[in-house]
Amino acid sequence: MSIPPPTGPGRPQEPQGPQPQGEFPPGPYPQGPYAAPGAYSSQPPHPHAPYGRPHAPPPYQAWGQGYSPYNRPAPVNTLAIASLVLGILCCVPGLGLLLGLLGLGQIRRSGERGKGMAIAGSVLSSLGLALWTLVLATNGISGFWSGFKDAAHDNGSAYTLTKGECFDAPGGSLEGMTYDVDKVPCTGQHDGEVFASFRMRGGSAYPGDAEVTDTADNRCYALRYDYAMDAWAVPDDVDVYYLTPTRQSWRLGDREVTCVYGNTDAEAGLTGSLRNDGRSLNADQVAYLTAVNMENKALDAQPPDTPDDDLKASTDWAGRVSDALVEESAALRGYGWPAEAKAPVTAVAGQVSTIRKEWAKAARATDADEFYNAYDRIMVLSTPGRSVTARKALGLATTPPAAGDGEGGGDDTPGASEIEV
């Protein structure tokens, strides 16, 4: 515990030298707290010294230092201190260099101490800035991240999952943060199955959680048709999940998004692989699914806002769906189908052409009511009966998936992928 020094007249005094007589020019030293105001003169000080001090200036400062107020050292410049700290840590070299230069300027004007700190901080920050520039120019950060992934490849890291692999997640959940997974055979029960991956574009600055999630959501839902071409063969309780870069891993060069199939019921999991593509399908099946997935991909690009909130986004979407249906109808009519599938597939192509006209009307809608009217007609025309006949002839799944929930909004909002052919 420290004891404060005595205050007021009772504080011991030491004799001072003779008081200065006559006027002197102001000295180069700052005045102490108890010095008389103005220039030194032979006139006595103000009759009332501050805080009840005696008229004669005390020999010590109020904090008990063994120096007179006139010998108090100049303070250390705070910018110089900050520059030195940042230079040593090398975390923000550009800022450390800037603070060092500003600190030197302040020191020259104010007479503060810390010139050596400012110079050292500026030098260290300059070296750090040069090092960061070299690393970025030579793609050193990405190289470090690639080396990290290579080292983790056989250690069950979530960063090393590749297309077609199955795994178990900690606790069985595919939500939240995870770094470690257990790779398991797809033939047995598992938590997730990787169906695609892609690299995000972007510089060194992390784009933010929202942008990363939106990009992963849009791309993964579109890529699922390349892995599980027959959406009707995917169980209704299976949904799309994804592993994305974090703010920390992005700084190290991580740009990879991994798209995963998983069960919405974490306790149920998956059993067997969901993959159905050119490896397991015949040419006729691939041709049919390639054609109808043109429509499915366009439907999945539904805008998040309702026609009431953003009519232009909805009409633009309807235009893209209409264009996809033109391509779909042409593909269905132009392929040489087996005899047993030719008639039912041709019927599907006719249905697609009829629905396309309503999508074209929705694309030309001038208000939300007109858009909804066109969409209602689309829903009436979009019956899966003819598709079931064609699918049966081609040996594909014949049970339509459950209707979508319309993620764009309320009950009256069109939902992506509600129309399946």
Residue tagged 């110079």 (tokens):
119
Q: What distance in Å separates the CA atoms of residue 394 and residue 362, rounded to the nearest whole number?
A: 32
SS3 380: helix
The answer to whether the Cα torsion of 141, 146, 150, 155 is positive or negative is positive
Q: What distance in Å separates the CA atoms of residue 102 and residue 118, rounded to the nearest whole number?
A: 9
Q: Are 159 and 254 in contact (CB under 8 A)?
A: yes
Q: What is the pLDDT of residue 13?
A: 45
| pLDDT per residue of the chain (421 residues) written in tens, 0 to 9 | 444 444 444 444 444 444 444 444 444 444 444 444 443 333 444 444 444 444 444 443 333 333 334 445 678 778 778 777 776 766 556 677 777 778 777 777 777 877 777 787 777 777 766 655 554 444 444 444 444 344 334 444 445 788 999 998 877 777 766 667 788 999 999 999 999 999 998 888 999 999 999 999 989 998 999 999 999 999 999 999 988 888 888 887 888 899 999 998 888 899 999 999 999 999 999 999 999 999 999 998 899 899 999 999 999 999 999 999 999 999 999 999 999 999 999 999 999 999 999 999 999 999 999 999 999 999 999 877 779 999 999 999 999 887 654 333 334 444 444 445 5
Sequence-distant (≥ 6) Cβ neighbours of residue 8 within 8 angstroms: 51, 52, 53
**For the chain, the helix, strand and coil percentages under 3-state DSSP, each to the nearest 5:** 45, 10, 45
Residue 132: both structure tokens together = 């960061």
- What single-letter amino acid sits at 12? P
